Structure 1
């Protein structure tokens, strides 16, 4: 459809968060006045619309969205319309359960470091259709599973970083989550899908991935990024391969890429060293909201004592893979479980990793104090919750702030 396809139609906007506000600005710039703007579950005002641009947090599988669909209302999104209009050969989309923000930010930094104008946005925070954003030659767009569901076309190149259980409530189950997440890979316009080599869970769904290119190994230029964790280094390799496939000038030049990498600033709360106290390193990985990145985070500290702070909002995901993945760790490990799903995590360890020292903490500051004492004199206190921050904190950043404040209070 594209944005021009909205002209002369009854348009509604559902959700007024970051994307919703950008959508309203775009409609105003295009001279289109929405007939209804709704921020909640009461969709009655939207029933008279032909097209509703919804925010990504609104599940099409829940009753309010089904009511609109049953009434013949077309549900779409700002990103779907933007991709209809964008030149596919100038756009890279990055998706995956975890690692997509880091991969997107690295890709954007490399494009900029090679001397090109680039917009980095999507789920990462900047809606590319927002008229407040300046035009750019290249676009790197992070795409969540929520956003992928609404898309009708794709870019020339897609990166899929990883795949594991997530957002099960929104998608009403894992199989639907996988189908929505990977639907981006086979949309019209997609020519290449870049994935990490040997990812068993991803390759289990190879029929949904389209034209796959597998990336293996770590090249020397990655050292210039200053990243902790092999998973982050692998994501950097995915980013570079995607830019080569997209045809970004200079992306295939090792020396130029190394120079570009030196300008990268790692994102917050993605395996970030925030301080050292009494010889103990404190590492913030607050953005870890499921088992996959938490396992990767612990692996980043092979040979060291690790006190792992894990737990948060309970979305019902299975923590057995986390326990099983840590059961064979030869280096000392303490697992401190946090509310609200701490008891469920502890139960998974009792079943799959009974030899691991697991203790319950009443809150994050208490966990930090216990972890610090245990990890001395040269260990790591790792906040990698494998759960969202909802309920206890405003967002992942507030959780990270509390973690860092507790460290400084020691």
Structure 2
């Protein structure tokens, strides 16, 4: 049902990608007068769908007069609140919400919402896999997969597992996950938040804004930022801790190489080394997913079975090839420093690190010790190499600058020997040289595979 006290008639969707098109379909199905506007060029796939659904749209422009006539704006997460059009909309008093907010108003499914600066995609996919493997009627949406709104319009699920970004959380009102997962909060997207870390923290904590005492918050207690925020906030939900540092009588933790989760309905144990995902960051992700599954009554047998059969998404510590004893790893999804911290911590062998891209206000001191101890060479793949090069000069024995991914991989091969790791873990956004992190990862994989054809 529509929870807002307003009765909206005209809905304008800003942004015509997956979430925007899905929101338009849901809005039309609920009887709204819908118009979609995208300042860029729409993908032909979405143009065809909008034509098929008889939803009017424009591309290459935002017609401000038409936008300002609306009763409700559903905004793409990629559009900042600071652009002049959104400022004008808000000055007129028109509500601006995200697709996840809109979709949540029309489903009675239980919502499991997962956020964090790092690890949310893996945790979301793993949680979905555990629940689906256990036979639950569950959908996957949010910042991954098919549009949440689109699925609400056309499908019936009992549960949704949602990957939620800070940008999506910026425009919620009543969004109410029964289970919220907060993995970590480290500086990211500071360019979007006025270079004020607290603004970003506040955005992440919107995930629990509407939770009640009947709901649950699963969080990583080792995070100093999360711990500090919890100490000064009044949060009603029941809290479940996960930790790598402490053994918890209630909650989930890593003991040596064993994942242990003590829940109200029993204790679950699993040897972490038996799982296809590796590294301390993935232990956190697994503990969070296990905690969700236990809350929903999934048996230990089914949880263990699901953990062992999970296949992670591409571009997240993805092994590409082993060539002449050198292992090439694609971690293109690592678009901030914290992600690289976890990536470097996942390997004990010498590393040739490929990093660089669009810096988002990065603080490289977080990885300095790991780089000093583990990285034998740094290859900066970027249009702007100054910050990385100057920071790690004298810390890394060899540094090479390039704007060509094949050149970067060729140099990595030249500088590596059997037993080494060549790791693409950029710490930066991809938009200087690539369409997105997926494009960067795919081009890296192609360049690696070219090494074998060059022999």
> After TM superposition, is the score higher than 0.5?
yes
1:322-333 superposed matches below 5 A? 322-327=367-372, 329=373, 331=374, 333=376
Alpha-carbon shift at residue 133 of structure 1 (Å): 4.8
Residue aligning to 1:234: 284
Alpha-carbon shift at residue 87 of structure 1 (Å): 3.6
Q: Secondary structure at the match of 2:290?
A: helix
Alpha-carbon shift at residue 138 of structure 1 (Å): 1.4
Deviation by residue 1:67-119 (Cα, 9 ceiling, x = unmatched)? 1100111111221122234347x211000111000000000000011111210
1:295-374 superposed matches below 5 A? 295-302=341-348, 304-327=349-372, 329=373, 331=374, 333-350=376-393, 354-362=394-402, 363-374=404-415
1:103-122 superposed matches below 5 A? 103-122=123-142
Alpha-carbon shift at residue 235 of structure 1 (Å): 0.6
Name the CA distance, whole Å, in 1 between partners of 2:283 and 2:38.
Answer: 40
Q: Secondary structure at the match of 2:33?
A: coil
- Provide the TM-score with structure 1 as the length reference: 0.90
| Preserved contact between residue 228 and residue 272 of structure 1 (Cα < 8 Å) | no
Q: Secondary structure at the match of 1:409?
A: helix
| Preserved contact between residue 346 and residue 358 of structure 1 (Cα < 8 Å) | no
1:21-100 superposed matches below 5 A? 21-34=21-34, 36-40=35-39, 43-87=64-108, 90-100=110-120
Unaligned segments of structure 2, at least 5 residues: 40-61, 244-252, 260-269
| Preserved contact between residue 157 and residue 242 of structure 1 (Cα < 8 Å) | yes
Evaluate the alpha carbon distance shift between residue 263 and residue 6 of structure 1 in structure 2; reply closer, same or farther with a 3 A threshold: farther
Evaluate the alpha carbon distance shift between residue 308 and residue 401 of structure 1 in structure 2; reply closer, same or farther with a 3 A threshold: same
Matched, 1:379 2:420: yes
Unaligned segments of structure 1, at least 5 residues: none
Alpha-carbon shift at residue 332 of structure 1 (Å): 5.1
Name the CA distance, whole Å, in 1 between partners of 2:435 and 2:22.
Answer: 22
Matched, 1:141 2:162: yes
Residue aligning to 2:45: none
Matched, 1:200 2:245: no
Name the CA distance, whole Å, in 2 between partners of 1:107 and 1:209.
Answer: 27
Alpha-carbon shift at residue 237 of structure 1 (Å): 0.6
Between Structure 1 and Structure 2, the one with more strand by share is 2
Q: Secondary structure at the match of 1:73?
A: coil
Matched, 1:388 2:429: yes
Evaluate the alpha carbon distance shift between residue 297 and residue 119 of structure 1 in structure 2; reply closer, same or farther with a 3 A threshold: same
Deviation by residue 1:304-346 (Cα, 9 ceiling, x = unmatched)? 111110101233333332335533x2x4532211213422112
| Preserved contact between residue 218 and residue 242 of structure 2 (Cα < 8 Å) | yes
Evaluate the alpha carbon distance shift between residue 209 and residue 381 of structure 1 in structure 2; reply closer, same or farther with a 3 A threshold: farther
Name the CA distance, whole Å, in 1 between partners of 2:320 and 2:370.
Answer: 26
Name the CA distance, whole Å, in 2 between partners of 1:222 and 1:115.
Answer: 23
Alpha-carbon shift at residue 283 of structure 1 (Å): 0.5
Evaluate the alpha carbon distance shift between residue 380 and residue 208 of structure 1 in structure 2; reply closer, same or farther with a 3 A threshold: farther
Q: How many residues align?
A: 398
Name the CA distance, whole Å, in 2 between partners of 1:388 and 1:125.
Answer: 21
1:266-281 superposed matches below 5 A? 266-281=312-327
Name the CA distance, whole Å, in 2 between partners of 1:374 and 1:133.
Answer: 53
Deviation by residue 1:229-257 (Cα, 9 ceiling, x = unmatched)? 22112211111112323xx232xx32221
Name the CA distance, whole Å, in 1 between partners of 2:388 and 2:375.
Answer: 19
Alpha-carbon shift at residue 291 of structure 1 (Å): 0.3
| Preserved contact between residue 160 and residue 193 of structure 1 (Cα < 8 Å) | yes
| Preserved contact between residue 107 and residue 243 of structure 1 (Cα < 8 Å) | yes
Evaluate the alpha carbon distance shift between residue 42 and residue 335 of structure 1 in structure 2; reply closer, same or farther with a 3 A threshold: farther
Alpha-carbon shift at residue 7 of structure 1 (Å): 5.5
Evaluate the alpha carbon distance shift between residue 388 and residue 60 of structure 1 in structure 2; reply closer, same or farther with a 3 A threshold: same
| Preserved contact between residue 341 and residue 366 of structure 2 (Cα < 8 Å) | no
Q: 1:127 aligns with which of 131, 147, 167?
A: 147
Q: Secondary structure at the match of 1:262?
A: helix
| Preserved contact between residue 305 and residue 380 of structure 1 (Cα < 8 Å) | yes
Matched, 1:11 2:56: no
